[in-house]
Amino acid sequence: MIFDYTIVMFVFSLACFLYWYFLKNKMRTIDDKERLYKLQSSATIFLFLFIFVFSVSCVRSFYIEIYKIPSSSMRPKLKPGDFVLVKKSEYGFRNPLTGHRVFGDKKPKHGDVAVFRHPGDKNIVYIKRIIGLPEDRIIISDGQVYLNGKSISIFKDRVIESESINDFSYDINFDASDNGSTFYIIPENKYFVMGDNRGNSSDSRDWGYLSEDLLLGKAFYLAFNISENGISFKGERIDTPSGKGLVDVIGDLYVDIDDQITSKNELTSSNEELSVEEVPIVIDDEVIDIQNINPQDLIPD
């Protein structure tokens, strides 16, 4: 079982309910009007605390929660001190204590910014971008990422500035020191995640694949930032190319109660950007066919 504040909130709300029930029964034996009034006031307070804390804990556990970005691994989009809203129901409703899915069959998609528990320490929460889904084939060669035979890197002035997967693009901080080539075939129920700040991110390149049962939700809205300069409101979607405002977020949350949200944004590219296309992958003067790679030849982690 993983400890977090969810347990504390549920226990506190249960204690408030039990004490309210105790006061309610005690009032039946009180004849003194002044004392009865004091007990009624106390009972009302504890009933309100129960309803409030229980409601907040349910929303936080099953639907939406706010997280603070602690590091620069997701620059340039997300910076230290940013607070993002995370939709806990995006990948199905899960038991908040065990992490096991209760119901719902929605799966992560390429490009999602996912929040999850670290495979090595489940008390640590990470946020990274999902690059590879189960059965995907990935090659990372000199910092350039190839997904199922296609380069997802977008160049500007011969430098990788962003990536595009399935008509969804996002900026990255390219790591010019990333030399060499690595191969991956993503196993079933596993995901390959990377930080957008490629030179300053601990991710699947270091500790391996992410198990599906460690997913907590999908980050979808950048709310505000708290830094030495104070609080600055952001109000920007992080799961669409152009971003949307708060009204759109509330509307999407309402729609998502009954149906799955489908993004209506289309990718726009500048004339200076190179289009994503299938390119041959050459490593050590040998052309690699990613579709027919022997899994035995791959680096497992």
pLDDT in tens, the chain (301 residues): 444 566 787 788 899 999 888 888 888 888 788 888 888 898 899 899 988 888 877 777 777 888 999 999 999 999 999 999 999 888 877 666 665 666 667 889 999 999 999 998 888 899 999 999 999 999 999 889 999 999 999 988 888 889 998 888 899 999 888 788 899 999 999 999 999 999 999 999 999 999 998 998 899 999 999 988 889 888 888 876 544 444 444 444 444 444 433 333 333 333 333 333 344 444 444 545 555 555 445 444 4
The total of other beta-carbon atoms located within 10 Å of residue 110's CB is 19
Residues 6+ positions from 155 with CB-CB distance below 8 Å: 161, 273, 274
Edge-first strand order for the sheet with 168-171 is 153-156, 159-165, 168-171
Domain boundaries of the chain, sorted by first residue: 5-62, 64-297
φ and ψ of 110, to 5 deg: -55, 135
Q: Is the pTM of this model over 0.85?
A: no
Please report, for residues 47, 161, 266, the alpha-carbon distance to residue 166 in angstroms, rounded to integers and kept in the order given: 50, 17, 10
- Cis check: omega of the bond before 76, within 30 degrees of 0: yes
Please report, for residues 58, 135, 244, 246, 259, the alpha-carbon distance to residue 250 in angstroms, rounded to integers and kept in the order given: 18, 34, 11, 6, 14
Largest CA distance in the chain: 94
- Residue 120 · residue 207 · CB < 8 Å: yes
> CATH homologous superfamily of domain 64-297?
Umud Fragment, subunit A (2.10.109.10)
Long-range contacts of 275-279 (CB under 8 A, 24+ apart): 276/150, 276/151, 276/152, 276/153, 276/154, 276/164, 277/150, 277/151, 278/149, 278/150, 278/151, 279/146, 279/150, 279/151
Q: Which residues are catalytic?
A: 73, 128
